[in-house]
């Protein structure tokens, strides 16, 4: 069964598809939400006052976002439900990629309904946004292939907006469980629910999810996981090794290596890393909980059986990995004495990982985390989530909620162009007018998805030389914004010409 991704929904139907079912207590509010989202899609990354030609329309948009009956869950909760219902149950892997990002409104006057963000700086204000993206990997890859795993993005399976409690550092150890940021991962599991029969839901998360209760809830819900290890955890009694590090020390490195494509990061260009692999089955020990906590959690608190997959970038000057320093039991994993560019991951993978190919698959699943980083980046820098000028935290959160599916659509456009570059351009969800404008603007026929993506990228500033590769998310966003401006200009011109024709007739 074909799965429709966000980028395949035509722009003129996108807002209706996402927001038409929003339960906002009044059909007029829902219609207004669809209208605002449609305009936001045409003019992404600008304020409401810049989106509209009249103050009345801008005021109506601000009023909608400030309405007490409107909430992020009300606006996009229907989209979450549709994505969850669309998760395939035919044995295909579905990646549920999650992360938390700070939405920061620092250097502004204090805003009601926000909380502290940043590393202990009380002058920073904003909120935390926890997002879960549902995506289907794009087919089998050879272990010899260096390309990043492409995915088809189904949409957002869950989001939560979180305000930090003003708890002093000294009292955080006794902070209520539900008020801890770590509980965001647990609540996302509760919201998504048990894995349907026949499905293979794989949670993909960074070190923030290396928490016993998070992993236990994943397992209780029937979800698999690939989580980057943060702690040198104690293992359950009965094993020869007592910690993760000790278990890995007794595991041999695989004879094979594989190449992993790494995207550019600040101060570090894109490169292909040759990775060494070893793995060790482990049983993670249950932390100490008092009786009250055990009763409240409502989980079978048992050792978690999983596999630690250790990936280490090969050094050109050394045939073997450098030796590890001593590690203290129960402490965070210490960094090695190695060049800063050398990549190392320790991944906690649910179930057995029995051979090199399975370890590579887990690594490639984890590498898809860049998608949620690009999503949050597009939301902030492209859509302008942190440039919003609102008077309350509620209005800010509502606006960010509306922006979220629109930002994810741009990320999926990039994925679609990687996954099916030679498929017909019409399958990208662009209208005939948009395809015609792209062809005219670039003086090149637009026949395939690759043609369309390159043309959009060119509008966004991508040079398009053979050595440049495909345009990235940022240039695609800028190109789409320019394309939508061209579409809007055509619509205004045609509307004005039609009115003049009617008057003369």
- pLDDT the model gives residue 181: 85
- pLDDT the model gives residue 339: 44
Bridge partner list, 424: 448
Domains (ranges, CATH) in the chain?
Answer: 77-374 (3.90.350.10), 420-497 (no CATH)
**Beta strand pairing status for 304-313 and 200-205?**
unpaired
What are the residues whose beta carbons fall under 8 Å from the beta carbon of 453, sequence distance 6 or more? 413, 414, 416, 417, 421, 428, 470, 471, 476
Cα distance between residue 90 and residue 199, in whole Å: 6
- pLDDT the model gives residue 404: 98
- pLDDT the model gives residue 368: 94
Q: Is 240 exposed, middle or buried (0-12, 13-18, 19+ CB in 10 A)?
A: exposed
Q: Per residue in 322-374, pLDDT tens?
A: 444 444 444 455 444 444 467 899 999 999 999 999 999 999 999 999 999 99
- pLDDT the model gives residue 176: 56
Spell out the long-range contacts of 441-444 with Cβ–Cβ below 8 A and sequence spacing 24 or more: 441/486
Residues of the chain whose pLDDT is less than 50?
Answer: 1, 173-174, 317-331, 334-340
Cα distance between residue 242 and residue 245, in whole Å: 8
From residue 89, alpha-carbon distances to 82, 142, 152, 404 in Å are 14, 25, 16, 26
- pLDDT the model gives residue 468: 72
Residue 252: half-sphere exposure toward Cβ, Cα within 13 Å: 6
- pLDDT the model gives residue 12: 80
- pLDDT the model gives residue 376: 97
Q: Per residue in 59-117, pLDDT tens?
A: 999 999 999 999 999 999 999 999 999 999 999 999 999 999 999 998 888 999 999 99
From residue 84, alpha-carbon distances to 9, 90, 133, 374 in Å are 17, 14, 11, 22
CB 120 within 8 A of CB 166: no
């Amino acid at each position: 069964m074909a799965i429709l991704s966000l980028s395949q929904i035509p722009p003129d139907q996108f807002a209706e598809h996402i927001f038409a079912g929003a339960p906002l207590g009044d059909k007029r509010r829902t219609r207004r939400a669809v209208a605002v989202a449609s305009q936001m899609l045409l003019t992404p990354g600008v304020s409401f006052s810049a989106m509209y030609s009249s103050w009345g329309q801008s005021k109506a948009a601000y009023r909608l976002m400030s309405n007490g009956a409107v909430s992020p869950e009300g606006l996009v909760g229907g989209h979450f439900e549709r994505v969850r219902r669309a998760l395939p149950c035919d044995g295909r892997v579905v990646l549920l990629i999650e992360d938390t990002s700070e939405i920061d409104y620092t250097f502004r006057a204090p805003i009601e309904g926000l909380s502290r963000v940043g590393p202990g700086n009380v002058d920073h204000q904003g909120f935390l946004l926890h997002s879960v993206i549902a995506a289907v990997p794009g087919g089998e890859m050879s272990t010899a292939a260096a390309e990043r795993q492409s995915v088809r993005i189904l949409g957002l399976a869950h989001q939560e907006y979180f305000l930090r409690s003003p708890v002093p550092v000294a009292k955080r150890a006794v902070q209520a469980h539900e008020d801890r940021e770590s509980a965001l991962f647990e609540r996302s599991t509760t919201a998504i629910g048990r894995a349907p029969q026949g499905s293979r839901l794989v949670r993909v998360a960074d070190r923030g999810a290396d928490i016993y209760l998070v992993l236990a809830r994943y397992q209780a819900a029937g979800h698999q996981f690939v989580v980057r290890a943060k702690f040198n955890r104690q293992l359950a009694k009965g094993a020869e090794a007592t910690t993760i590090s000790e278990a890995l020390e007794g595991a041999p490195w695989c004879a094979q290596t594989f190449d992993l494509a790494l995207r550019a990061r600040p101060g570090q260009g894109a490169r292909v890393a040759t990775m060494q692999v070893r793995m060790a089955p482990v049983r993670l020990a249950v932390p100490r909980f008092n009786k009250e906590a055990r009763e409240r959690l409502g989980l079978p608190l048992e050792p978690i059986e999983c596999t630690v997959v250790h990936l280490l970038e090969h050094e050109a000057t050394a045939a073997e990995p450098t030796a590890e320093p001593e590690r203290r039991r129960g402490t965070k994993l210490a960094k090695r004495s190695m060049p800063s560019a050398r990549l190392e991951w320790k991944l906690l993978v649910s179930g057995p990982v029995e051979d090199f190919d399975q370890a590579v698959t887990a690594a490639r699943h984890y590498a898809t985390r860049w998608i949620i980083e690009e999503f949050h980046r597009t939301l902030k820098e492209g859509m302008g989530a942190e440039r919003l000028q609102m008077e309350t935290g509620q209005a800010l959160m509502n606006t960010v909620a509306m922006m979220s599916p629109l930002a994810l659509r741009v990320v999926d456009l990039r994925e679609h162009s990687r996954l099916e570059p030679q498929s017909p351009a019409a399958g990208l969800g662009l209208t005939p007018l948009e395809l015609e404008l792209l062809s005219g603007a670039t003086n090149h026929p637009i026949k395939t998805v690759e043609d369309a993506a390159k043309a959009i990228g060119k509008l966004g500033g991508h040079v398009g030389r053979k050595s440049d590769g495909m345009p990235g998310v940022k240039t695609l966003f800028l190109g789409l914004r320019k394309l939508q401006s061209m579409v809007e200009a055509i619509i205004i011109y045609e509307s004005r010409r039609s009115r003049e024709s009617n008057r003369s007739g």
